[in-house]
Structure 1
């Protein structure tokens, strides 16, 4: 007799949703953690030594971050010597708020990009997410870099800098984020770049 499928109750759905929101909040607050998650999500399965080499971070940091991500339930460890790290792409869509690996990658860029770091320090991660959307409109050919400034309510120079800095997150996300069109439901296929970015390369190379 086949096992009977058990549907979740509304309370269980609420619990799962809140837990996922808390997990995403943790990643948004800890860009170094988000960076390891995004790497595993895009380029996994990957061993911890591979993550260490690709992201150029200490071995102990990799082990700590992977352990935290596993405890959060968003990466899995499989195999034995070497253990491989895999991650499923997260998606949060509620009340106009959208978070996918592309958004998490954009936030994680502050670990390696001074322009993104400055932008986050000045405006916060919410503004980065808004900038991702505006950058997508620009790379889809719908607005100029200068036109990004008004909806974000930031100086023109900062708008130009953040649009350029977010190119790697959009380029890699377009290739590897299965939820990319959730952020850009009307223009995902129109986004393109004048110069090629090596989206198959580890994140530090694609972020340079």
Structure 2
């Protein structure tokens, strides 16, 4: 029997996929970098002074992070004084792994939420991503906060705390993440909140 032809992934597709995996890995490992990326992705175009003021991080840090994101190829810099920064939404879906801006927002929240920071310290980023999924199920009315404990293999108290802490990522992701339904197939439209929540971009005036 003649050998069957081997199906190959085009080299450019393989290169692009690996590069995106590496980029997402950098963001998952650096919550502050992820925070800058998510802000730009959701609210861009924004200027670096706006990022500095809105996220309350030093000017040099903003410039460093925007430079890193530019080198990674996931932000675009346009204009001249002030320079507008925009970002494309990333999406990784492979073998049950799903990463979109909503997941990266959850990772970024470690910078401002001690509950999430402590959760990641104890359980890791993978468990946090799984908790995002459970939070979506809760806010879609599919499960209670307590019911999230078993699939996450954590205590009931931890489940209640992390589901509540992840609410901002779900709220803003529903509005701005173009791949929100990838994380929550069949329930994305059911996710709602008891009170109206303002997800308007915090866009302060430019300063130097």
Please confirm whether the aligned pair reaches a TM-score higher than 0.5, indicating the same fold: yes
CA deviations 1:51-74 (Å, max 9, x no partner) are: 000000000000000000000000
Q: Could you tell me how far apart the structure 1 residues matched to 2:160 and 2:196 are?
A: 19
1:9-88 paired onto structure 2 within 5 Å: 10-88=10-88
Tell me the residue number matched to 1:139. Answer: 139
The number of aligned residues is: 195
User: What is the rounded CA distance, in whole Å, between the counterparts of 1:197 and 1:161 in structure 2?
Assistant: 19
Stretch deviating more after TM superposition (189-198 or 146-155): 189-198
Structure 2: give runs of 5+ residues left out of the alignment: 1-8, 204-208
Q: Secondary structure at the match of 1:80?
A: coil
CA distance in 2 between partners of 1:202 and 1:122 (Å): 31
Aligned positions of 1:1-208 closer than 5 A: 10-202=10-202
- Is contact 1:171–1:197 with CA below 8 Å preserved after alignment? yes
**Which secondary structure state, in structure 1, belongs to the residue aligned with residue 142 of structure 2?**
coil
2:13 partner SS:
helix
After superposing on structure 2, the runs of 4+ consecutive aligned residues of structure 1 that deviate more than 2 Å are: none
CA shift, 1:198, in A, is 1.4
Retained in 2: the 8 A contact 1:168–1:197?
A: no
CA distance in 2, matches of 1:92, 1:174: 18
Structure with the greater alpha carbon radius of gyration: 2
- Is contact 1:89-1:100 (8 Å) kept? yes
Return the alpha-carbon distance in structure 1 between the equivalents of residues 197 and 34 of structure 2.
21
Q: Distance in 1 between matches of 2:178 and 2:13?
A: 23
TM-score, normalised to structure 1, is 0.92
CA distance in 1: counterparts of 2:138 and 2:77, whole angstroms: 39
Give CA deviations for 1:130-154 in whole Å, capped at 9, x if unaligned: 0000000000001000000000000
Q: C-alpha root-mean-square deviation of aligned residues, in Å?
A: 1.1
- Give the superposition deviation at 1:48: 0.2
Q: Secondary structure at the match of 1:85?
A: strand
Q: CA deviation at 1:197?
A: 2.0
Q: Assess if the C-alpha contact under 8 Å between 1:27 and 1:33 holds in 2.
A: yes
Q: Offset at 1:194?
A: 1.5
